[in-house]
Structure 1
Amino acid sequence: MSFYRPINPRAPFIWHGGDYNPEQWPPAVWDEDMRLMQQARFRVATVGVFSWVTLQPEEERYDFGWLDQVIEKLSAAGRWLCLATPTAAQPAWMSQRYPDVLRADEYGRRVHHGGRTNYCPNSPTYRHFAVQIATRLAQRYGQLPNLLIWHVSNEYATPCYCTTCAEKFRGWLRARYGSLEELNARWWTRFWSHTYTDWSQIEPPYANGERSIHGLTLDYRRFQSDSLLECFCLERDALRAITPDVPITTNLMGTYPHLNYRRWAREMDVVAWDCYPWPNADPADIAFSHDLNRGLRDGQPFLLMEQTPSTQNWQPVNALKRPGVLRLWSYLAVAHGADSVMYFQWRRSRGSCEKFHGAVVEHSGRSDTRVFREVSELGAELERLGDLTLGARTPARVAVLFDWENWWAIDAAVGPINPKEYVGFVRKHYRALWRQGVPIDIVFSDSELQRYAVVIAPMLYLLTPELAERLRHWVAEGGTLITTVFSGVVDPHDLVFAGGPPGPLREVLGLWVEETDALYPEQRNQIVWPDGRRYACGTLCDLVRLEGAEALATFGADFYAGRPALTRNPYGKGQAFYLATDAEARLLEEWYGALLAEHGIAPALRAPAGVEVVPRETGTRRLLFVLNHTAQPQTVPLPAEQSFHDHLAQRDVRERLDLAAYGVALLERSARA
């Protein structure tokens, strides 16, 4: 297992800081900001995210004077810099003078100026100005000794359906398919007489146009993700040409539906993401998102670029984080791979749509508030940890497979139920594993699998030939594969495999799917074990025919009662399981618990429900994060023969660990005195 260096060796500690928007405030406030940042241990300031018009008020005029002053003050105060390019929101003068920079909606209508990420990613004008401002920032500030990282744009998002994108899409398709004949074959366009006879006939999948060809809708999502990635790469390359030693990132958004973040991560020096869970979120779902971002670069630690210190403003109900939850969720991120704890935002805005979004400094401007105190105490605690957790890896032997293109194909599929909740389905299986207390990796269709004993691939509808062969080889060499209903259905062009599901996995699974039944939301079937145990299931039920697999459990109702619901097939040195339905969580938790025990995969500590134990390992140390996700005190029994040091409480503990409500401990095993 390899370990990682700090993101930037200049700052070998957990970064604590976040978004600072001084352009929204008069210079008289800046000196007070410096004083308060020192008090809050706010060490890394992200500056310039939405400052394009302030930096470039007119096409031929730039104003860096205000940013020079801010950087001088931050530098004099000992702050580190995360400098952003401002290209997420173009100035009004640009939209007015060059309307081609504005994106078009799903009907092909050019939208008006406003909001953010409101540009066409394929507009030559937008790309020109974006590279230009990035180059000027690098030339002016690239040699600053306290510059830690470049932050390109912000939360890349909205797809575009304009005529520029339509023409670029045709070129993208020519490169992908080579000929119109090949495209027609892959898209199955003889359906409904939709065969294309000229490239010019192909249009984006407009809301009032062609959406019945799923090869088209799938490819357009690929194209738009690639187009926005090209924008990132253009700015990245401009920055790298001048500052080759400064790492470059942008902030992702968890399971954002429009971008294939696995492809994006290859082009980033480090993954950064913005974590905004619902106030009452299941901690397993937050952990899933952190594990996903750690997995994007195959285990490399990531940056927690944004979280709210207190409340959000865009959810239906924006409850406050209860006392202690900010600290708990910050360490939850670090436990799952974060090398930073950062916030949006430093000072709460006085106007516009984020004036009620939480901040370190509230509208009162005071430092004696609960939120400021919690941030300050957390910052001091992180400083004491130093480089303890940097470069650590998560020693996972079990993985869950997630795939954006599979998600897109499932979304486009019409039937057997509409809509289908792929992300929720994957999270359900992850959650069942999380409750076993073992570390989990999120992997992708191109991930290497050798280090894992168990891989779970829920609803693997779209299956690439490469992944099918990699899974076959891995199982044959001793791996345990679990996949589910609605898997192995289509190829990368959304064409159903000849012979039906599970397609190329038929031999590995030892079965084929004859029919799939769709259940209404209120309907339930049952999974029946030979010993009489019964569990609820619903949504989809596959009627499978066995070809070597054995039935471990069967359906309990309807005309397919007695047919296999859960199967096992020995294959080479390994085995493959097929769960032919959407099973209740209780079955998943019990079954996965037994399966992990068979593989000798056990939690680092046995903890009560609601307490999570997460191991991270460096080359010389094994650390255990112990997180109490409940509002009540909890006690975790410790092995009698061991002594532990709690790096957060700065004390040794034996026999039992007592955690306050929302409490956290960071344990390291030591020889007993």
Structure 2
Amino acid sequence: MPSLHDATRGRVLFGGDYNPEQWPEEVWADDVRLMKEAGVTSVTLGVFSWAMIEPRPGAREFGWLDRLMDLMHAGGIGVVLATPTSSPPPWMGALHPETLPRTEEGTVVTYGSRQHFCPSSPVYRRYAAALTEDLAARYADHPALTMWHINNEYCTHCWCDGTADHFRRWLAARHRTVAALNEAWGTAFWSQRYDTWSEILPPRRVQYLRNPAHELDFKRFTSDALLECYTAERDIVARHTPHIPVTTNFMPLWEGQDAWAWAEHEDVVSVDVYPDPKDPRGGQYNAMLADMTRSQACGPWMVMEQAAGSVNWREVNHPKPAGLNRLWSLQAVARGADAVCYFQWRQSRQGSEKFHSAMLSHAGEHGRTFAEVKRIGAELALIGAEVSGKEVTAEVAVLHDWDAWWGAAQQDRPSSLVAYTELVQAWHAALWEGGIATGFARPEADLSGYRMVLVPQLYLLSDAAIDNLVAYARGGGTLVCGFFTGVADPDGRVRPGGMDSRLRALFGIRTVHEWWPLEAGATVECDGLRGTLWSEELEPDGSAETVSAYRGGELDGLPAVLRKGTATYLSTLPEPGALRDLLGRRAAEAGVRPVVEGLPTGVEAVRRGELLFLLNHGRSPAGVKLPGRRLDLLTGTETDGGVELGRFGVAVLRDVPA
């Protein structure tokens, strides 16, 4: 099976989306000149070019793309060739309105933007397959082709009648009988029992609350329906070019796509990364997405898109200050990326993304953005051969699961203030601030390679997942689990006792009497910490140690944090410093140490292969003490005893033998 290594060839790819169809052809040669000046080694072509290639049904106009492929090859630039199926031409919606998606209220989502297709539409799928077939046949042997990029940011939802038919087929395959579906969905509630498959619809707009099990299955179905679209096109290009790796770009932590399941069908796992430059947690968010994507890839991965400056879709779109683009790009490489790419190469002058930044901004080749892009390209060329393909080792795993996320996001839950992704980020941030290398894993995965496993929250767990966690902890692994975990089975059915009995026995909990969610901004006092968001009325069974108890209020004296052997349960979310300290203590007991001890605040240390990356996320200089001599590959200078990092500074260090 081809891999990212087949495309990188021992270097870190650098480049981005190139949309030359937006520009006169005389600009193309100048683009290649500037790409070479910037150290660009890879461009993605054709992402939104369906209407250019097929201006009317069945037509094929490849001449312009032929010239571009040849131009890129002549310039020594590899091409990630996209199937342009994320944005059907206007003629498709006009001639085949059944291909257009519908909202849950029944409103048609018309053409004039992008992603305006129903994933279940046979007509859309037929046109997409035909175009992909011709594209793959034409360019299979082109020397510029290094990778296939299928579609773009799969994120379409649809509630139309065609989707309803597809959903019923999916349900029949999952549940086998209507009776089994009724049992799984609990349709005895509110007289929702179904008699035939034909009665079942997608979870459209209803009078009051929708059945949460119905919604859960629809989210699973939607991810699978989109995956069918991807695999259909992937199989076509793989048949023509079995030696060329295939990818599609994930959106970071997007609810609608189970990235664990999708990653199994990709040769290269890629993601689009857009932290807010004004967010003080931006560097940590970037690290979290890198750790998650690397874990899905089981090795090196690809930044398919990032912004060279500002984006265009936030309420206020701040540019990246000088140095931040470089810092975050090298941070991705430190955490396993073998490709660093952007949306896009040349900033658009028209369309809805003309204020989205690019490697070559409106300021042109003399602008600050392009100067920083050139520096990044040069530095990636310096370190590429030494870092490409190298592993990042983590002894701690954060468990993350889309089913659990979908189940916890139901409308009728105890607190709408509890957001799954915020919990995942809070727990990862505690490790990041503590300098502890981290990966992610599914709850059913083999956890034996980790010294410590963290569960920020997994509301819904399968029996296999629960048995896996119990076996891990009872085998001596350090397990730390957050509140409202193990509450429901895979159908969203609440387990007896408010938490699975196996988990209650593991943590020393006899009963979960009540969940006590907190109001916005409210806290609860506990021994040695202050809790936020949530609290629980737990009755211990006498086998566990109360590490911290609630003080004051209705829960006074009851356990906030319980520990039994190597398993710890948190019934609240400690404030950030307290969570960092608690997880740091558990990590130390498990034999996990920070990558570098005693780092200044805001400095990150990551080891990839034999190289040590130091990254200063602060706006002030910072000094890092290190024993021994090291060579900084970015500057070519040797250090002895420490490194000085400037604002947003980066050092990439290799040990120098004594």
Distance 1:40 1:404 in 2: 39
Which residue does 2:590 correspond to in 1?
A: 599
The corresponding residue for 1:657 is 643
Residues 372 and 341 of structure 1: CA distance in aligned 2, closer, same or farther (over 3 Å): same
The amino acid that maps onto 1:600 is: G
Per-residue Cα deviation, 1:506-542 (whole angstroms, up to 9, x for no partner): 22222131211122114221111xxxx3x22132211
Distance of 1:539 and 1:275 partners within structure 2: 28
Q: Take 1:59 and 1:439, find their aligned partners in 2: how far apart are those partners? A: 52
Q: Deviation per CA, 1:380-409, whole angstroms, max 9, x where unpaired?
A: 111122321112222111111111111111
Contact 1:122 1:168 in 2 (8 A): yes
Look up the match of 1:668. Answer: 654
2:607 pairs, out of 590, 593, 615, with 615
Summarize the alignment of residues 157-556 of structure 1 with structure 2, pairs less than 5 Å apart: 157-208=155-206, 211-281=209-279, 282=281, 283-297=283-297, 299-364=298-363, 366-511=364-509, 512-528=511-527, 533=528, 535-547=529-541, 548-556=543-551
Aligned to 1:133: 131
Give the conservation status (yes or no) of the 8 Å contact 2:443–2:468.
no
Query: Whole-Å Cα distance in 1 between the matches of residues 521 and 640 of structure 2?
Result: 50
Change (3 A) 1:250 1:667: same
* DSSP-derived class of the 1:200 partner: helix
User: Out of 559, 570, 581, which is 1:579 matched to?
Assistant: 570
2:619 to 603, 612, 631: 631
Cα distance in structure 1, aligned partners of 2:577 and 2:107:
48
| Paired residue secondary structure (1:456) | strand
Q: 1:286 to 1:374 in 2, by over 3 A?
A: same
Q: Please, which runs of 5 or more residues in structure 1 have no aligned partner?
A: none
TM-score, normalised by the number of residues in structure 2: 0.97
Tell me which stretches of 4 or more aligned residues in structure 1 moved more than 6 Å.
none
Change (3 A) 1:9 1:160: closer
Moved more, 476-485 or 84-93: 476-485
In the alignment, is the contact (CA less than 8 A) between 2:17 and 2:343 conserved in 1? yes
Question: Which residue does the alignment assign to 1:648?
Answer: 634
Name the structure 1 match of 2:561.
Answer: 566
Contact 1:109-1:162 within 8 A present in 2 as well: no
**CA shift at 1:210, angstroms?**
7.7
State the secondary structure of the residue aligned to 2:201: coil
Q: Secondary structure at the match of 2:535?
A: strand
Question: How does the TM-score come out when normalised to structure 1?
Answer: 0.95
Aligned to 1:120: 118
Q: Give the gaps of 5 or more residues in structure 2.
A: none
The answer to whether the Cα contact below 8 Å between 1:142 and 1:243 also exists between their aligned partners in 2 is yes
Shift of 1:275: 0.7
| Identical residues among aligned pairs (%) | 38
Distance apart, 1:42 and its partner CA = 1.4
Deviation (angstroms), 1:111 = 2.0
Corresponding residue for residue 79 of structure 2: 81
2 CA distance for matches of 1:370 and 1:643? 34
Look up the equivalent residue of 2:600 and give its one-letter code: P
2:496 counterpart SS class: coil
**What is the CA distance between 1:504 and its match in structure 2?**
3.5
Q: Is 1:55 equivalent to 2:41 in the alignment?
A: no
Aligned-partner Cα distance in 2 for 1:168–1:378: 47
CA shift for structure 1 position 426 = 1.3
Amino acid at match of 2:284: A
SS at match of 2:204: coil
Pick closer, same or farther for the CA change 1:261–1:211 going to 2, 3 Å.
Answer: farther
Q: Is the 8 A contact 2:437 2:595 kept in 1?
A: no
Task: Tell me by how many angstroms 1:9 deviates.
Answer: 5.5
Distance (Å, rounded) in 1 between the aligned partners of 2:209 and 2:163? 17
Task: Quote the Cα distance in structure 1 between the aligned partners of 2:444 and 2:339.
Answer: 27
Q: Once superposed, what is the RMSD of the aligned Cα atoms?
A: 1.4
Partners of 1:410 and 1:420 within 8 A in 2? no
Q: Give distance in 2, aligned partners of 1:415 and 1:37.
A: 51
Distance in 2, Cα, partners of 1:644 & 1:75 = 38
Code of the aligned partner of 1:519: L
2:209 touches 2:411 (CA, 8 Å); kept in 1?
A: no
SS in 2 for 1:233: helix
Taking the aligned partners of 1:449 and 1:483, their CA distance within structure 2 comes to: 15
Report SS of the residue matched to 1:227. Answer: helix
Q: In the aligned structure 2, how far is the partner of 1:427 from the partner of 1:190?
A: 37
Write out per-residue CA displacement over residues 610-650 of structure 1, whole angstroms, 9 at most, x where no aligned residue: 00001112xxxx211100001111100012xx211111111
